[in-house]
Structures are given as C-alpha cells and as structure tokens.
Amino acid sequence: MEKDLNGTLYECCDKLKGIVRHFYHIFSGAELVPVIKHLSPTLEIMMVFNFGDPVEVSFGDDPLNGEFIHRMAIIGPLRKMMNYRLSPGSDALVVNFELDGYYRFIKTSLASVTGNFFHNLEELQLPVAADLDELWQQLAGMPDVHDRLNLLSDFIISHAAESEEAASSLVAGEAYFFDPLVNPVKALASDTDLTERSIQLRFQKYVGYSPKELIRFLRFKNMINHMLRLAPGKIDVFAIIIQFNYHDQSHLIKDFNFYLGTTPLKFINNLKGRQFCLSGQDKAVADHR
C-alpha cells in the first residue's frame, strides 16, 4: 500500500501477476474543495469503478465540457493528458492492467483503438457487461476498500484467460524497450523468427499501440518524471534536450503539445506540482532506467 496526494495504491495478489499491475483507490472527504487534477498520459489500460458522483473529464488542453465517468469506464491507452474534477465525497477504484492484461480479461482486440480510448461501459458491447454490472452493485455496497479489492481480484481471476502465445513473446521482450542500444522490434523478431511487421501487428492487437509509439512515450515519461523531481528554478530545458536525446527545442515542444497540449514553459509554470500526477506504472517506468 502506498499513499500519495491523490489516493492510495494497492499492490495486487500473486494470482493477478501478469494481468493487473496495481489497484488505485481515489477517496476524498466531504470537506474537500473541488479541484481539477491532471493525469499524465499512460499507455496502460485502466478500468474505473466509480461509486461517487459522476466524474467530469477532458483530454489534452480541452476544458471540462460535460463528458463524465458514471459508474464504470475503460480508459486507455491514454495518449493525451486526462483532466478530471475531484469533488467532495469522491470514491473510485481504478484497475491498472499489465501489458496484455486487459486483452486477457476482456478478450477483445485493441487493433482498432486510436486517439484517447474512453468509454463508459454502458457504451461498449462487452462479453462480461452483465457480470460487471452485478459486480459494481456488490462493490458499491461494501464500505471497506479491502473487501472491495478482494472481490474485484476474485472476479478478474475468474474471467481472465491465459496469455496467448503470440502475446507472451511481447511480454518476455518488454525489457528491450528500456535499452537505448537495442532496436526492440528487430530483437523481438529475431527471438520469435517473425517479421518486424508481425511484431507490430501483435502490439496493435494485444496492447493497442505500436512499438514506435511505446519508445516515444517512454522517453517522454522519463523526461517528465525527471522534471517533476527538480525544483522549478533548477529546470534547464536545453540540458533536458541533450539528456533525453531530443533533436532540438522544437522537437521537445512537439512532444509536449502532443501529450499534454502545452509547452515546456507552461508545464513548469502551471502544471508541475500537486495537481499533476503520474500513474503508479509510469513512476515505475520512469525509474526503470
């Protein structure tokens, strides 16, 4: 269990290893003054069980504009920063899936996913929709978060399939993406005697993004994590360009606009701080270097 300013992170049980990375409980008392939070982009898939009032959300630099998480939602791969309003009495559980964990649970290809994938479960025709609705009802009636986590864990275990052989090779080669001296697609293709195109298609099916997108994303996440650790006056943009192998300042600005909808300077002045957070996985990714 690990607490931060936004909630509490709970590690999953051993039986969920390879499916769920962790759970996250967002909870606020009735005295909370409503505040807008910003979640950094993350390529993991998240399932949200919301037990409080509907949570208003938007993405990138878009203002909150009437899009809500009601009872249950699927979010991710999150290619743009997510903005959400935390209100008094907020109460939600977030499931952060592993690389192919969501596919194993839902058993639906992610190849067609583009942009920010956000849906309330009522909008999706999922095989487990009826079971999930009943699960939400049970979870909502439980006052203790540990009881909720136990029930939720048992539910996921009972519905998740074994990792498919085609996905197992991607999971086994995950470390290649953290080695700047290795071309991960070539390495995976060599390990599996497959073409590079086959590796790319497997990524799209099981995780919803391409290897190239993952490499770009990891660099950005490492860089953001580095900036969050520095005092504002200690951030040297040009040193960051060199340290994280950006071509020039315009290249860095392009990534900031793509992921956060802002510039490095505006991020330092307006977002860096208590209202901007990384998911638990992204903290681990950034520390993997």
**pLDDT digit string (tens) for 19-58?**
999 999 998 888 888 889 988 888 889 999 999 999 999 9
Which of 159, 189, 220 represents a domain boundary (last residue)? 159
14 and 136 assigned to the same domain: yes
Residue-wise burial string across 272-289, b where 16 or more C-beta atoms lie within 10 A, e elsewhere:
beeebbbbbbbbebbeee
Domain residues for the domain of 177 are 165-209
* Residues 243 and 113 reside in one and the same domain: no
In the chain, the number of structural domains is: 3
| One domain, residues 109 and 235 | no
Q: What is the pLDDT of residues 173-188, one digit of tens each?
A: 888 888 878 899 999 9
Q: In what order do the strands lie in the sheet containing 72-75? A: 2-3, 8-11, 20-27, 91-97, 46-50, 72-75, 118-120
Give the type of residue at 171: V
Same domain? 122 vs 49: yes
Query: Which range has the top average pLDDT, 29-33, 144-148, 223-227?
Result: 144-148
Quick count: other Cβ atoms within 10 Å of Cβ 236?
11
At 191, list the tokens: 């390990």
pTM for the structure as a whole: 0.84
Whether residues 39 and 131 share a domain: the answer is yes
Whether residue 190 sits in one domain with residue 121: no
Q: What are phi and psi of 72, to 5 degrees?
A: -140, 145
